[in-house]
Structure 1
C-alpha cells in the first residue's frame, strides 16, 4: 500500500509540474482545471519564459468571435478547439510560430464578454504569470473585436494598445481611448459587421475627440475583402506586423 501511495504522489507531483511547464507550446486549460479563472483558455508562454525567474513579459489576450464560442472543454468540437479555427495567434502557434509574449485566449459560452468578466480574465493573467502590467494588449475578431472596443473604452488605463479586427466601436466612449494606441482592420465587403464600425470610431478619435488620439488611431481597410479580414492580418501576409507594432507601446501608468 505504501508503494502505491508513493507512486500516486509521484504522479501528482509530475502532473503539477507539467501543468505549467510548457514554454514555447500552446496548451489547453479546460474549464475547471485552473484555480482562479472560471473559463477554459489556451495558454502560451514564450520559449524563454523559464530562463530568468525574475523576467516579466508582455501579455496579449485574444478574443474569438461567435464562431469560436464554446463550453471551455478540451478536445471537443464544442470546446477550446473552436478557438483554433480562425487564422489567429493560437492557430499560428500550434503551426510552429513563436512570439515573445504570454498569450491567453479564453472561451465563453458566447462571445459577448462583459467588462467585468474580461477584467477578471486580465487580472487572473497578471497575477498568475510574470506579466509586465504596463505591457498588456487586447485583440479580437468580430464579436471579440466589439468586446475589445467596449472593454478598452471602459478600462483604457489597463491597456498598452488594442487591435480590433472586423469589429464595431460605435456606441462606446471611444474618446476615452485618446492615449491608447489603436490599429483597427476591416474588409470593405464585410457583410456581417459593416466596415463603418471601424471607420467611424477611428475618425472620431482622430478628428472629433478632445483631446484627439495620441498617437493617431490607425485604420487598415482591405478592399473587396469580406468578414475574414483577420487571417491576413494575424499571419502578416497582407504586409502588416501588428505584433511589433503592439509591443512598441507600453503604459507605465497601467493599473496594477
Structure 2
C-alpha cells in the first residue's frame, strides 16, 4: 500500500467508485456512521486480498452481527467496541486474511432488525463486488438471535448461517429447512445468559419436526462446561472447527 493511500485511510476519507467504497484490500477499515451514503449504521469493512486487482471478480460476503456488549452509535470510537470480541474483525486486525468481503455493523442496541439486516445485504450487493449466491450471516448472542430471525424470513438469500449462543426456540424454521439452508449452531452448555436450548430446540425442529426435514441436516456443536462466550474458540479455530471453510463450501 502506498504512503498516500495510508494517509487517506488514516484521515478516514470515504471515496466512492462505481462499485462502491474505495477498496482497502487486506485491511479492516472503520466506516463511521454518517460517512457512507446509503448505510444507516456505522460498520467495519474488510475487502479480501486481490479485490483491487480483479475488477471483474465477485467475492463471498460475510455479515457479522455483534452482541449486547458491543452496542454503540457507530462512531469511529464506538466501533472499537466490536474489536473487543474474539471474532472476524479482530482476527483480521491481528493479521488474518480471509477470502471474503466482511461487513460488521454496529447498532445502538444489538437486536438489529430483519429489515436492517436485509438493507445491509442489499447495499453490499450493489456497492461491493459480492457474489449473490455466496452470502453468509453469522452473529453472537443477540446477533445470533437476529441471525436466526433473518434466516427464518430471508432463507432464500443466504448460502449458510452460523449462529453462536443465540435463541430461535420461538421461530418457525420449517420454510428454511425446506429450502435446504445450511445451519451450524454453536453453544456452551454452561451459558447462563442464553440457554443452550436456544440452539438445541431450533436445530431439533429443523431436523426432526419439520417436514421435509432439513437437508443438509442442521448442525449443532455444544461445548461442555463453556459459558456465554462460545464464539471466541469457534471463530479463532482453537476448538478445532474451520467454520470459514464450512461457510464457503455452500452456495445457492
TM-score by length of 2: 0.91
Which residue matches 2:4? none
Q: Deviations over 1:36-87 (max 9, x none)?
A: 101100000001101111000000000000011100000x2xx101110110
CA distance in 2, matches of 1:64, 1:16: 24
Which residue matches 2:125? 126
Which residue matches 2:194? 193
Q: Give 1:69's match in structure 2, choosing from 68, 71, 76.
A: 71
Q: 1:40 to 1:16 in 2, by over 3 A?
A: closer
Compute the displacement of 1:15 (Å): 4.5
Q: Report how many residues are paired.
A: 236
CA distance in 1, matches of 2:118, 2:34: 19
Which residue matches 1:100? 99
Structure 1 runs not aligned, ≥5 long: 1-10, 252-256
CA distance in 1, matches of 2:169, 2:91: 30
Compute the displacement of 1:172 (Å): 1.1
CA distance in 2, matches of 1:152, 1:32: 28
Paired residues of 2:23 and 2:51 also in contact (CA < 8 A): no
Runs of 4+ in structure 1 displaced over 4 angstroms? 14-19
CA distance in 2, matches of 1:28, 1:17: 13
Q: Deviations over 1:173-214 (max 9, x none)?
A: 111221100000000000000000000110111111011001
TM-score by length of 1: 0.90
CA distance in 2, matches of 1:239, 1:152: 26
CA distance in 2, matches of 1:16, 1:147: 29
Compute the displacement of 1:157 (Å): 0.4
Which residue matches 2:247? 246
**Do structure 1's residue 209 and structure 2's residue 219 form an aligned pair?**
no
| 1:102-117 pair list within 5 angstroms | 102-117=101-116
CA distance in 1, matches of 2:146, 2:15: 34
Q: 1:222 to 1:130 in 2, by over 3 A?
A: same
Which residue matches 1:81? 80
Give the match's secondary structure for 1:155. helix
Which residue matches 2:183? 182
Which residue matches 1:5? none
CA distance in 1, matches of 2:249, 2:161: 12
Which residue matches 1:160? 159
Compute the displacement of 1:17 (Å): 5.0
Structure 2 runs not aligned, ≥5 long: 1-7
Give the match's secondary structure for 2:43. strand
CA distance in 2, matches of 1:22, 1:63: 21
Paired residues of 2:164 and 2:230 also in contact (CA < 8 A): yes
Alignment RMSD:
1.4
Compute the displacement of 1:21 (Å): 2.9
